[in-house]
Amino acid sequence: MEKRIKFSIFLLLIILLLTTSVSAEWTTQFIEDERKENGVWYAHSLNVKADDNITAKVSIGTDGDVEWINLEFSTMPTVIKNIDNPIQASVKWDNHESEKIFFNKYGDFNFISFQNYGESIAKIEKSNKMVLEFKKDGEENIKIMFPLETAAAVINEIRGKF
């Protein structure tokens, strides 16, 4: 009986490990949109920890004609809530020097949009890692690291849907 319990626990751990490694991959999502004839496809990064109780993910969308890119949060971090448009952040692609990147926020939604869609998507496709840092005087800074290893393949997959 004790061996069965140990084996069941071992099997459960293996399943959890396999599930975790699969969740590290970017995923796709289709959303029907009556305004768009062919709907909209999205490529999503995995959710990563942005702050103590906040997660974030990168979402790239296309309707076959236009592409866009957003940074989505489970809850909008205070440091970003308190910054006016355009929101400036430092971004580091792989191990290159950091550069400035700008975002816009819209109302009380829990996402911000990259201002330069095409350039940002191209850099994501060529990089293995993106680190964003948001700062505001008197506020706690937020630094978020996104793994990008499988991003290019998934972006090409959603482009191929049209």
pLDDT tens digits, residue range 46-87?
A: 999 998 889 999 999 999 999 999 999 999 998 888 888 899
User: What is the domain partition of the chain in residue ranges?
Assistant: 25-159
Give CA–CA dist 79/91, Å, rounded. 16
* CATH pick for 25-159 out of 3.40.30.10, 3.50.50.60, 3.30.360.10, 2.60.40.1880: 2.60.40.1880
Q: DSSP strand E in the chain: where? A: 27-31, 40-44, 48-51, 54-62, 67-73, 87-93, 99-105, 111-114, 129-134, 142-147
pLDDT at position 81, please? 86
Is pTM beyond 0.75? Reply is yes
pLDDT tens digits, residue range 7-54?
A: 455 444 444 443 333 335 899 999 998 887 789 999 999 999 998 889
